[in-house]
């Protein structure tokens, strides 16, 4: 149950058309914030979710753009902040498991880690959050706001969907610490590190892989997008003395 009143506050959520990002949009907007949903311009889910939430009385608008592309990410951030009028919370959630990936790639399959694969992963999962935060820094400091990055327990030593994915999330965790130093003392920066999430990303994964994961988890289930969004919301809107931290949200898997 959301009890914090965010009327007059604003948020920008990247990768907000589905999964964790959409769940975060739901929470921030339900609490009264005006929310910009970033999504790929060619993804129809973005505009569909904007219309759905607007019809429910939420203050929502679309902020299309690809955070993996230099220049485009910065233009998207600038346009969203201009429309919002200020920026209190930035959720760097946009990510990718890699082009064409529908299931985890065995760590020993180094040949699958092509230059194209590495480039797609790093540009979205690591450099994308850097681009967005750099572009939003002045607005975040002015509002004494907060950033939350969506990392992964793959960046904390767990086996992820690929070597490149795990490396990108480990880099994002380190970047979170660096950005916390840069944003301080006016603004904060933290990260969540989800375990297995029951989301569109993992729907195609082999059932035995998901079952094996949940059996090794204390709470014996995968997380929902809402589980992760609750922690993102907490780190952004509360936790006033917490910065530079990464919180695993994995049901005790690690």
Using the predicted structure, report yes or no on whether residue 150 has a pLDDT greater than 80.
yes
In the chain, the percentage of residues whose pLDDT exceeds 70 is 99
Distances (CA, A) of 137 to 20, 88, 197: 23, 10, 30
| Distance (Å, whole) CA 177 – CA 211 | 33
Beta pairing partners, 197: 223
Residue 205 confidence class, pLDDT cut points 50, 70, 90: confident
| Distance (Å, whole) CA 164 – CA 87 | 32
| CATH code for the domain of 130 | 3.40.50.720
| Distance (Å, whole) CA 10 – CA 6 | 8
Residue 165 is a catalytic residue = yes
The residue among 225, 236, 82, 37 whose CA lies nearest residue 147 is: 236
State residue 185's pLDDT score: 98
What's the gap between Cα 177 and its chain centre?
16
Q: What is the pTM of this model?
A: 0.95
Using the predicted structure, report yes or no on whether residue 9 has a pLDDT greater than 80.
yes
Task: Check 28, 117, 165, 213 and give the catalytic one.
Answer: 165
Q: What is the pLDDT of residues 74-126, one digit of tens each?
A: 999 999 999 999 999 999 999 999 988 878 899 999 999 999 999 999 999 99
DSSP 170-226: HHHHHHHHHHHHHHTTT-EEEEEEE-SB-STTTTTS-HHHHHHHHHTSTT-SPBPHH
What's the gap between Cα 87 and its chain centre?
16
The number of residues in the chain equals 254
Total of domains in the chain:
1
In a domain, 3, yes or no: no
In a domain, 5, yes or no: no
State residue 41's pLDDT score: 95
In a domain, 4, yes or no: no
In a domain, 68, yes or no: yes
In a domain, 134, yes or no: yes
State residue 181's pLDDT score: 98
Element (H, E) at 63: strand 60-64
Domain span at residue 184 reads 10-249
Q: What is the pLDDT of residues 14-67, one digit of tens each?
A: 999 999 999 999 999 999 999 999 999 999 999 999 999 999 999 999 999 999
In a domain, 1, yes or no: no
Using the predicted structure, report yes or no on whether residue 203 has a pLDDT greater than 80.
no
Residue 159 confidence class, pLDDT cut points 50, 70, 90: confident
């Amino acid at each position: 149950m959301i009890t914090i009143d965010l009327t007059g506050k604003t948020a920008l959520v990247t990768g907000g058309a589905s999964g964790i990002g959409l769940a975060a949009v739901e929470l921030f907007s339900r609490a009264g914030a005006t929310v910009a949903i970033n999504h790929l311009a060619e993804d129809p889910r973005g505009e569909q979710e904007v219309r759905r939430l607007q019809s429910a009385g939420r203050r929502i608008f679309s902020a299309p753009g690809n955070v993996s592309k230099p220049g485009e990410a910065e233009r998207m951030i600038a346009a969203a902040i201009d429309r919002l009028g200020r920026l209190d919370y930035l959720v760097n959630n946009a990510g990718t498991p890699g082009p064409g990936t529908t299931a985890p790639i065995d760590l020993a399959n180094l040949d699958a880690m092509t230059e194209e694969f590495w480039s797609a992963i790093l540009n979205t999962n690591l450099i994308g959050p850097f681009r967005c935060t750099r572009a939003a820094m002045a607005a975040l400091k002015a509002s004494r706001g907060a950033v939350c990055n969506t990392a992964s327990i793959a960046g904390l030593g767990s086996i992820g969907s690929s070597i490149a994915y795990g490396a990108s999330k480990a880099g994002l965790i380190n970047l979170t610490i660096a950005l916390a130093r840069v944003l301080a003392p006016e603004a904060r920066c933290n990260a969540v590190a989800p375990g297995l999430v029951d989301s569109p990303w993992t729907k195609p994964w082999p059932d035995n892989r998901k079952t094996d994961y949940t059996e090794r988890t204390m709470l014996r289930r995968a997380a929902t997008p809402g589980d992760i969004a609750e922690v993102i919301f907490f780190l952004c809107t509360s936790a006033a003395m917490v910065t530079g931290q990464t919180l695993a949200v994995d049901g005790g898997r690690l």
